[in-house]
Structure 1
Amino acid sequence: MHESYRQVFGQRSEAAAGGAALSAMAAELFGDEEQAEELSAPPAPVQEQFDCDHFSQGLPAVDAVAASIESGERYAVAFIDVRMPPGIDGKETARRIRAIDPDINLVIVTGYSDFSPLDISRAAGPADKIFYIAKPFQAEEVMQTATALSARWRVDIELREARAALAEKIDQLEEQKLELAANESKAVHMANHDSLTEAPNRLAFMRALTEHVRERQRFAMAMLDLDRFKLVNDTFGHLAGDELIRMVYALLQETVPQGAVVARLGGDEFALLSHVTSEDEAVMCCERVIKAISTSFKVFGHSVQGSASIGMVVADPENDKDPVDLMRRADLALNESKRAGRGVVRVFDESMDESIRFRRQIEGGLSEAIAKGELKMVYQPIISRDGLEIIGFEALMRWNTEEFGPISPAMFIPIAEESNLIHELGDWAIDEAAKTLQQWPGQYVSVNFSPRQFRRQNFVGHIIERVQHHGIAPDRIQIEITETAIFDDAERAAETLYRLRQMGFRIALDDFGTGYSSLYNIRRFALDCLKIDRSFIDGMGRERASAAIVHSIIHLGRALGLEVVAEGVETQEQLDTLLVAGCSHLQGYFFSRPVDADIACELAERRWLGTPPGDNVVTLEAGNGTTG
């Protein structure tokens, strides 16, 4: 039997060599030297070559398989007779070999029926790695079986290794996913809570206030300020002041009605939010708070007399209220409370708001601003970290009135939102930005859209119409929106953003980290860019929380393949920190203030503020708000 196997695995190569020799001799006899050289060369293998080991009994074969596992020179196929000289039979041999090597293919060669295939499969399975050849066998049958099973053996090994590598990669991705989720949760908590007291901060309070406005129920919003708090800091130190803040927050939580929101806005200022049935009830609640705080606190062994002033506004369900305006009114009432002698509650009334008439005048002037030519667009460069290349500009609106002089967008944009003039201003802004964009060599322009504009009927069609009118490619327009704009109707917002992306527009999420930021929103909405709010950039050097949030946003953006623009970069230290953190794009006074259209064109033509990529160093030529 062993001699038969030797002939099977040896005769093919011998026959091929003999045939090649005869062909070379014939070529030489008939004078074809070139053919003779080719044919006399060693023949290329045309079939599988095998290294075969022969064992007359099962036990040595089992030992050989075990040794092959240790050495790494493993067997692909084992041909096993059922009957062998004294020792273990073929079934037991197959069982022991399978126990040692789960990958080897077993070929049972037998002319008898001592064991059924099912018996052997049960002992040495799996069934797809056991094969049978009946005696007497043909040489081609053995060779073909060995060749096919060897190829399959290699494929099985490679497939298993590939699966193992894939499983390892999946494990790594799962770990990264968990780490990202943990970082996101930590960043969200830090972004919405005060680090000193763990109270909700200004951002969280604004969200709660916005939700109360939407509920259409009567509620009271109050702002509380500790009286003579600066004296505590100056007398006992800032650590004592911090401890007093923590104690006051704990006392407020115990005193306010159940379900009320208590937030720390900053310093010694707190905000309270609670549903009420009447103004009298709201006043009584605030007076209880003042009475509770008007006690003696023991701070690090020192006795500190507490006192607080409160300004309050009551929002009725039948009146539309703006959360920012409610806070402004409560702040006006708080100022009146302090002027009245401190330690009292004051409810807002219209007589406190001298600016209401001014706002109405602003609204009237805004409707005529376009016709008078009082509006203009200015442009602030958006810089790529690679060589400090100007890759785009953010378009910003400015209004210079004849009567009042320059008016901040922070004032007239909210008024435009309330008076429905925002659509007219928005159309003008798109037209002006598109005209200027036509003069740039390739940069894009980023245009801000307010929540009311975003909810406009057929918003997508309206934007496309105006862009096509100017012959501008959609990918040179970036639409900047805040999360507030998409939070009210997330389903509709997701569809709108998807359609805009299909048309080629870029989408940027502005003021990221200050709204309803979540990994779910980022995955759900079609985005190209995250813009880190300038408040976090400004706080990086002073607050560990701001630096942590900035780093988390940058890593989150990179993991999701999004651009990350840091707004409000004003110092070399901020720039260096952001570059080290891996921020992809930058914007701020350090590079350039918002400039007129003609200067923006010069910057666009110039393109680089630093050394283009490819040079050994990057040097900044512009800085501190200059444009030269």
Structure 2
Amino acid sequence: SGKQVKLHFIDLDGFKAVNDAWGHAVGDALIVAVAHRLRDALPNDAFAARLGGDEFAVVTVDEPDAELVPSFGGRLQDALASLFEIDGRSIEIGCSIGVAVSEHGVVQTSELMRRADIALYRAKDLGRGITIDFDDSFDVDALQQAELENELRATLLTGGISVMFQPLIDARSGAVTGVEALARWRKEDGVAIPPDIFIPLAERAGMIDLLGMQVLRTSLNAAAAWPSLSLGVNISPLQLKNPRFVEQVEEATKAADFDPRRLIVEVTESVLISNPEQARRAIDGLKKIGVKVALDDFGSGYASIGSLRRFGFDRMKVDRSLVAALEVDQNAGAVLQATVALANALQIPVTAEGIETERQATVVRLSGCDELQGYLFSRPVSADEVTALYCGAE
């Protein structure tokens, strides 16, 4: 007909939490309610379908270069913004939408679906609750990501991920009491890929177990030579979903002849939100074999003091954003002090991260933090440097 076809892929935001909290019957009722609102928002000549789970698709047919104000995506976002009343429960969700366009119907069906799918994932990556139209640059990005994924897989197969260590400082004595292991990846061409790029990549590509255990084993083997220091290792939330994770940690400590009581596994609060019961089992299993567990980046999201109590954390690490705020926010000191006081009331020791100035160090000491970490004391260093600087007398 010479018109343009728009394919919208729709994924509900927050649906899994509804199923987890109230069961599949409520989830099914919510799907039906969403379908009704979706149908009410449709243009007359549109076609809608449920693809499965909490995923829908809508096809609209418009005049070439038509500018719809608001767009269908915007209308659907608005339609789902109102609360749903399901069996006496008030439920709030949203949706992410990826859109692909076939001008004059020239794009093949499979290609149109591929583009909409890529746009949907881009919408979810950018924070959810938004509509994204496919752009040709997405294919370039996808190709680069695929190449980087292949390089990471090859690096992991050859044990090419290195580990640096940042010292942890006793707030009273100034002595080094431990180190935090930090994964580093430098490609064969010399380009360093930041952890905030390659760790999410490993999670998406199903390589996080391999990456995480490689970092753990490398760290344990190095830290075995530093008997007076604790070792903190970051763990991805996805690793805790592995039913063999605790067993693998125990095997790694034995293989390195490393006292598990010196090991501190650091987890972020997303673990507590996405699957609290699974996290609880893994944390309890780690503690049974003597491994300590710290809640990392506290203050950057939604974790509560109740979470500290419920999960029995051995340590809390205050997020660097609370420390950085001391330079710009006159209330930041009071916020930090209150945060630390609540943890101390639960007899949970506190580490302050990201300390870069003497003023910050003084404030966090006075606030009750017993351990300090940051560039003021040391940047991350190699295992050999740790041995030379802090363990030479042992």
| Residue in structure 2 matching 1:585, options 371, 377, 387 | 371
After superposition, the Cα gap between the structure-2 partners of 1:444 and 1:406, relative to the gap in structure 1 and judged at 3 Å, is same
Deviation at 1:532, TM superposition (A): 1.0
1:260 and 2:81 aligned: yes
Partners of 1:322 and 1:277 lie apart in 2 by 9
- For 1:325, which of 108, 115, 125 is the aligned residue? 125
Structure 1 alignment gaps of length 5 or more: 1-208, 221-255, 262-272, 281-313, 331-344, 608-628
Shift of 1:274: 4.1
Q: CA separation in 1, counterparts of 2:258 and 2:356?
A: 32
| Alpha-carbon distance between aligned partners in 2 of 1:582 and 1:502, rounded to the nearest angstrom | 29
Paired with 2:134 and 2:17, the residues of 1 have a C-alpha distance of 21
| Cα RMSD for the two superposed structures | 3.4
**Residue 345 (structure 2) pairs with residue 524 (structure 1):** no
Indicate how the Cα distance of structure 1 residues 219 and 511 shifts in structure 2: closer, same or farther if over 3 A, else same: farther
Secondary structure in 2 matching 1:439: coil
Contact 1:218 1:315 in 2 (8 A): no
Alignment length (residue pairs): 306
Displacement after TM superposition at 1:455 (Å) = 0.8
Q: Which amino acid aligns with 2:275?
A: D
1:264-302 residue CA offsets vs partner (Å, 9 max, x unmatched): xxxxxxxxx94489969xxxxxxxxxxxxxxxxxxxxxx
- The equivalent of 1:571 in structure 2 is 357
Percent pairwise identity: 32
Q: How does 1:442-481 map to 2 (within 5 A)?
A: 442-481=228-267
Q: Would the alpha carbon gap of residues 469 and 574 (structure 1) be closer, same or farther in structure 2, given more than 3 Å must change?
A: same
Task: Tell me how far apart the structure 2 counterparts of residues 426 and 276 of structure 1 sit (CA, whole Å).
Answer: 30
Distance 1:528 1:351 in 2: 46
Map of 1:506 onto structure 2: 292
For residues 442 and 386 of structure 1, the distance between their equivalents in structure 2, rounded to whole angstroms, comes to 17
Letter in 2 for 1:436: A
Alpha-carbon distance in 1 for matches of 2:145, 2:167 = 32
SS of alignment partner, residue 354 of structure 1 = helix
- Contact 1:213-1:323 at 8 Å conserved across structures: no
Aligned residue for 1:211? 14
Change (3 A) 1:424 1:260: same
Q: What does the per-residue CA deviation read over 1:568-611, in whole Å, with 9 as the maximum and x for residues that have no partner?
A: 1011111111112121111011100000000111233269xxxx
Match of residue 49 from structure 2: none
Structure-2 residue corresponding to 1:363: 149
Structure-to-structure mapping, 1:331-410, within 5 angstroms: 347-352=133-138, 354-372=140-158, 374-403=160-189, 405-410=191-196
The gaps in structure 2 that reach 5 residues or longer are: 1-11, 19-52, 58-76, 83-92, 101-114
**CA distance 1:218–1:536, shift in 2 (3 Å):** farther
Q: By how many angstroms is 1:561 displaced?
A: 0.7
Distance change (3 Å), C-alpha of 1:322 and 1:569:
farther
Aligned pairs for 1:156-305 (under 5 A) are 211=14, 217=54, 257=78, 260=81, 274-275=94-95
How many Å apart are 1:369 and its aligned residue?
Answer: 0.8
* 1:214 CA drift (Å): 6.2
- Measured after TM superposition, the shift of residue 520 of structure 1 is 2.0
User: Paired residue for 1:287?
Assistant: none
State the alpha-carbon separation in 1 of the partners of residues 79 and 316 from structure 2: 38
Once the 2 structures are TM-superposed, how far is the Cα of residue 411 of structure 1 from its aligned partner? 0.4
Cα displacement (A) at 1:315:
8.4
Residue type at the aligned position of 2:278: R
Match of 2:388 among 590, 597, 602: 602
Output the CA distance in 2 between the equivalents of 1:421 and 1:454: 14
- How far is the alpha carbon of 1:373 from its aligned partner? 5.2
1:427 aligns with 2:222: no
Q: Distance in 2 between matches of 1:524 and 1:329?
A: 31
Q: 1:593, 1:404 → 2: CA distance?
A: 20
Greater RCO (Cα-Cα under 8 Å, separation 6 or more): 2
Give a deviation string over 1:168-211, Cα, whole Å, max 9, x none: xxxxxxxxxxxxxxxxxxxxxxxxxxxxxxxxxxxxxxxxx963
Residues 558 and 376 of structure 1: is their aligned pair in 2 closer, same or farther, counting only changes over 3 Å?
A: same
> For residues 449 and 534 of structure 1, what CA distance do their matches in structure 2 show?
18
1:411 matched to 2:217? The reply is no
Query: Which structure dedicates a bigger proportion of its chain to helix?
Result: 1
Output the CA distance in 2 between the equivalents of 1:587 and 1:348.
43
**Distance apart, 1:328 and its partner CA:** 9.7
> Scaled by the length of structure 1, what TM-score is found?
0.44
Q: Deviations over 1:490-547 (max 9, x none)?
A: 1222222122112211110011122331122111102111111112211222124543
Q: What is the TM-score with the length of structure 2 in the denominator?
A: 0.69
**Residue 386 of structure 1: SS of its match in structure 2?**
coil
The letter of the residue matching 2:14 is E
How many Å separate the matches in 2 of 1:590 and 1:532? 16
Whether the 8 Å CA contact 1:217–1:275 is kept in 2: the answer is no
Q: Distance in 1 between matches of 2:190 and 2:124?
A: 23
SS in 1 for 2:172: coil
Partner of 1:87: none
Task: Please show how residues 489-504 of structure 1 align to structure 2 within 5 Å.
Answer: 489-504=275-290
Change (3 A) 1:214 1:492: closer
